[in-house]
A and B are shown apart, each in its own frame.
Chain A
Amino acid sequence: MHIRLEDRTPRPAPPTPQRKEEGEGPTRPDVKRPDNSDLLRRMRRVDPEAARRYRQRSGQ
C-alpha cells in the first residue's frame, strides 16, 4: 500500500465545534410537544425543490 507522507503526520486535535447545538443532557423534556414556532420558521426557509435536486451515489 502506498502511503502519502502528509497522511502520516499526526494532526492536532480539532477544536470541539462551538456551534450552538443543544442543551444539557441527558434530559427528559417536560412537555409532550414543544412550542415549535421557531421550527416552523425554519421549515418555511426550506427550498421546496431541495429533494428534487438532492442526488446521491448508491451506498451500502
Chain B
Amino acid sequence: MMGLETEYGIAVEGCPVEGLLDAGMEIVRAYPGSHVALWDYRPESPRRDLRGFTAPMLAQDPEDARYDRPDRLRTPAEVERSDRVLANGARFYNDHGHPEYATPECRTVDDLVAHDRAGERVVLAAADAHEATTGRAVRAYRNNTDFHGATYGCHESYLTRRCVPVAALVAGLTPFLVTRQVFCGAGKAAIEEGGAARPGFQISQRADFVAVPLSVDTLYNRPLFNTRDEPHAPAAELIRLHVILGDANMSEWATGMKAGATSLALELVEQGWSPPVAPPDTVAAVKAVSREAGLGPVAALSGTGRWSAVDVQRSYLDAAGTAFGGRDDGTDRVLSEWAGVLDDLQSDPEDAFDRVDWVAKRALLLQFAEEEGLDPADPAMQSLDLAYHDLHPEHGLQMGLRQAGAVRRWVTDEAVAQALAVPPSDTRAAIRGHFVSRHAADLVSVCWSGLEVRYRGRRERIDLGRLAEADLTGWSERLARAVGLDETMTIMSQLEGR
C-alpha cells in the first residue's frame, strides 16, 4: 500500500512571497470539483517519532520565518490549510503556501501514477478557477526548489511491518534511495548551498536540501526518512515509511519507477536482504551522486571508489528479480523497466530521454544554449529549468514533450480521467470516496483512518484504520450499487463484522 504527496510551487501575478500562504489557501478553496471540507486533525501526531520518543517541538526554517506577517497567528490552522477531501479519495490542501495533493491509498503502481497525474489536473483546475475569479494569472510548478533556498517536497508513504527494526529499514534502503536518483532525479540547473544558487547541473532537485539521514523534522534540516510515527493503520503492526528525499517528477514513467522500485526494495529489506554496500556518509553520498551524475564510480557510495550508482541499483534489481520475478504483471513491468533504464544509462544516458527527467532537461538546456549562443552557466538556465516544471499546457517545456508524444507513458489518459473521479476500488479510499460522492451531507469528519457519519440521529464512526491492508474490491462494488445511506451503512456494518 502506498501514496504520494506533492507540494506544488505557485506564482500568482502581483503576489509577493509574503502573500503566498493566503494565495495557496485561495487556490485550494477555488477548486471547483466535488469535495467536502471536513478534515479531522485529531489523529495527527507529527512530533511522535518511530524511534520511540516524542520530539518537544518541530524545527522551523529561520529564513522562511522572516516572511510571516505579524497577524499570521490570527488565521486558524484549519482555515489556512483548507483541507478538501475529494470524491476520488484524495486530500487536497494548502501546505505552507503550496497546494498539495495527496493521492488516495493505492495498491498498484498503475493506480498510484494515475492518481498522481489526476492530482496535476486538480491543481490546474484550482489554479484556473482562481485565475478566472481574480483576473490574476496563476502558474503551478511541479518541482522542488525556488533557487533561493526554499524547497518543497514530494513525499512517499509505504505501509510497512513494524516488526522490522527502523535501523534495519534505514540500513537496507539507504543505498537504494541514495542512488535511485539516476532514474528518478528531476534534474536541476544549479548547485544550491546556504540559500544561494550557483551555476551547475545535477540530477536531483532535492539533494541539496538533505541534511540528515532520518529525522521527525520536515521544514528544516530535512532527512531522507521522515520518522513521524503516524501509520494511519493499526499501530501495533504497521508503520508508514515516509520517504521525503524524492523529487517531484514531470515524467510519469519516473513516478511509476520511483514507487515501483522502492516498493520492491522495501520488500527485499522486510525479508531480511542486505545490500552489498553502505555509504559511510549518507548525506555526502546523496549530494555526490546528484552532482557527479552518478554514472561513474562514486567514492562516497562505499568509501572504496568501486561502486557506481548504477552498480548499486543493479544489486537491488538482481535481488528483486530473483525474489519477485514472475509474481505478477505489475512486478514484472517494474523489473523490466528498471533493467532497461539501467542499461540505457550505462550505455548512453541520452537513450533515457523519453523517461528520465534529468536527461531530458539537460539535453534541452544544452541544445538551447548551443543554438542561442548562451553560456550553460547563464542564470537564464534556471528560468528554463523552472519552465520545464510549469504545468501550463502552452508554456511548460515537459508539457510540450508530452504533447509531442516524446515521453514514455505509464498509464493511459483514460486511466487518469477515471482517477480524477473515482478512487482505487481495492483500498479503503473507495469507502472514503463513496461517502464524499454519495453522502457528503451526512459526513461529520474525515481523516485517513476513519469517517464520522450522522446516521439516524447519531454520530457513527467508521474505522478505516483496520482496513489499511484489506482488498476491498468486492465491497466497493457493493457500495457502488448501494441505494441510499441505509444500504451503505448496512454494507459498512457487514464489513465491520466480517
Q: Which residues of A come within 8 Å of B, CB atoms? A: 1-4, 7-14, 16-17, 19-29, 31-36, 38-40, 42-52, 54-60
- B33 contacts the other chain (CB 8 A): yes
The distance from the CB of A33 to the nearest CB of chain B, in whole angstroms, is 6
The answer to whether A48 and B403 have CB atoms under 8 Å apart is no
- B274 contacts the other chain (CB 8 A): no
CA distance A9 to B363 in the complex (A): 48
| Residues on A with beta carbons closer than 8 Å to the beta carbon of B299 | none
- B109 contacts the other chain (CB 8 A): no
Among residues of A, the one whose C-beta sits closest to the C-beta of B404 is A34
The answer to whether A40 and B413 have CB atoms under 8 Å apart is no
- Given contacts A1-B445, A34-B406, A46-B384, whether A57 and B33 have CB atoms under 8 Å apart is no
Which of B125, B151, B403 touches A59 (beta carbons < 8 Å)?
Answer: B151
- B395 contacts the other chain (CB 8 A): yes
The distance from the CB of A26 to the nearest CB of chain B, in whole angstroms, is 4
- Given contacts A32-B353, A34-B406, whether A26 and B150 have CB atoms under 8 Å apart is no
- B269 contacts the other chain (CB 8 A): no
The answer to whether B20 and A57 have CB atoms under 8 Å apart is yes
Task: Tell me which residues from 364 to 422 in chain B have a Cβ below 8 Å from any Cβ of chain A.
Answer: 364, 367-368, 371-372, 378-380, 382-387, 393, 395, 397, 399-413, 417, 420-421
The distance from the CB of A37 to the nearest CB of chain B, in whole angstroms, is 10
Binds A, one of B60-68, B157-165, B460-468: B60-68
Among residues of B, the one whose C-beta sits closest to the C-beta of A4 is B37
Which of A10, A39, A43, A54 touches B440 (beta carbons < 8 Å)?
Answer: A10
CA distance A52 to B378 in the complex (A): 12
Binds A, one of B93-101, B280-288, B324-332: B93-101
The answer to whether B152 and A50 have CB atoms under 8 Å apart is no
The answer to whether B387 and A43 have CB atoms under 8 Å apart is yes
| Residues on B with beta carbons closer than 8 Å to the beta carbon of A33 | 350, 353, 363, 406
Most chain B CB within 10 A, of A4, A29, A56, is at A56
- Given contacts A17-B125, A46-B384, A51-B383, whether A22 and B32 have CB atoms under 8 Å apart is no
CA distance A12 to B241 in the complex (A): 35
| Residues on A with beta carbons closer than 8 Å to the beta carbon of B386 | 50-51, 54
| Residues on A with beta carbons closer than 8 Å to the beta carbon of B63 | 58
| Residues on A with beta carbons closer than 8 Å to the beta carbon of B350 | 32-33
